[in-house]
Amino acid sequence: MNKFGKGFRLSDNVEVGNGKMVLFSGPCAVENYDICAQIAETLIAICSELDIQYVFKASFDKANRTSVDSFRSVGFEGALDVLARIKANYNVPIVTDIHESYQASPVSEVADALQIPAYLCRQTDLLVAAGKTGRTVKIKRGQFMAAEDMEYAVNKVKSTGNEKVCLTERGVSFGYHNLVVDMRSLPVMRQFAPVIFDVTHSVQQPGGMNGKSGGQREFAPYLARAAAATGVDGFFIETHPDPSKALSDGPNLIPLDKMRDFMKMLKTGFEYGNSPDNTIL
């Protein structure tokens, strides 16, 4: 199996793969500019200190909520405007989710990477539309997908001539409201593209709180360390200054004031997971 997924450049200052550690992190959803700015400023400082590449993440629309009453967005144009301001003011690349093919082009004018939600990883038209933008396409593995079958999702994007693809592991369904991460999926998918481990959604409990998603953030360090030691190309972590007040996915978000220690821990694990000592057989 390949040691690293074939690397590519996401932006002028971020390379994915080839042994370079990257963090995709921010609030689950765009709530307002001030919260996004606080998170971006904090994470930029942490990543600069620890020599970790950073991409700011926030969803401009949460279209895949459990209930119709759940918070989705502050509005298409308003949310994209916040992301554009974060990008300009902090000189940081942006990743956000798209759910419909028509969104790929306008969102790519702001975002450096387009994330394909797990439930949509088989949607051919969506993957092709994302690929045609020329932006990085970050595909989450569906909770129903075998790791080896994600090669076909990668190839759909690459059919457009776009080689900038990475995969994200977030666990597979195990009964009701629970997800389980099979660490074997990480080296399997790494044969096709760089792999990012989604720390916070791996401890999510979809629909587990009477129409809202629950979560068990207390297990996040265990899964994150296991993925780091197994070997990945980076991490996806959602964070918030006060998860109890977050408008989306609060129970599984990492508190912003814990992120420095969390990333310091993962930096050590990443270095081991990508060392020659980690490939014995």
Q: How confident is the model at residue 1 (pLDDT cuts 50, 70, 90)?
A: very low
Q: Indicate if the pLDDT at residue 32 is higher than 60.
A: yes
**What pLDDT, on a 0 to 100 scale, did the predictor assign at position 67?**
62
Residue 5 lies in a domain: no
Share of the chain above pLDDT 90, in %: 69
- On whether residue 110 sits in a domain, the answer given is yes
Residues spanned by the domain of 151: 19-278
What pLDDT, on a 0 to 100 scale, did the predictor assign at position 21? 96
Tens-place pLDDT, residues 163-198: 999 999 998 887 677 888 999 999 999 999 999 999
Q: What confidence score (pLDDT) does residue 2 get?
A: 45
3 found inside a domain: no
Count structural domains, the chain.
Answer: 1
> Beta 14-16 vs 254-255: how paired, if at all?
unpaired
What is the CB neighbour count within 10 angstroms for residue 49? Answer: 11
Domain assignment present for residue 186? The answer is: yes
> 263 lies in a domain?
yes
Residue 13 belongs to a domain? no
**CATH assignment at residue 110:** 3.20.20.70
pLDDT given at position 4: 55
The pair of three-digit structure tokens given for residue 140, joined into one six-digit string: 């989450």
State residue 208's pLDDT score. Answer: 46
Tell me the pLDDT band of 220, cut-offs 50, 70 and 90. Answer: confident
pLDDT value of position 225: 94
Contact 159, 128 (CB under 8 A): yes
| Contact call for residues 70 and 212 (beta carbons, < 8 A) | yes
Burial, 216: exposed, middle or buried (Cβ in 10 Å; 0-12, 13-18, 19+)?
Answer: middle
pTM, rounded to two decimals: 0.91
Q: Can you spell out the DSSP letters for 181-192?
A: --TTHHHHHTTT
What integer best gives the mean pLDDT of the chain? 89
Range in 40-49, 110-119, 249-258 the model is least confident about: 249-258
Q: Measure Cα distances from 40 to 27, 29, 85, 238 in Å.
A: 9, 13, 11, 12
Per-residue pLDDT band at 216 (split at 50, 70, 90): confident
Q: Is 128 inside any structural domain?
A: yes
Q: pLDDT tens for residues 232-250?
A: 999 999 999 999 887 866 6
Any domain includes 1: no
Q: Is 70 exceeded by the pLDDT of residue 69?
A: no
**What is the pairing mode between strands 214-215 and 204-205?**
antiparallel
Q: What's the pLDDT at 215?
A: 63
Q: How far is CA 154 from CA 28, 40, 120, 123, 149, in A?
A: 24, 29, 13, 12, 9
Beta-sheet pairing, 165-169 with 195-198: parallel
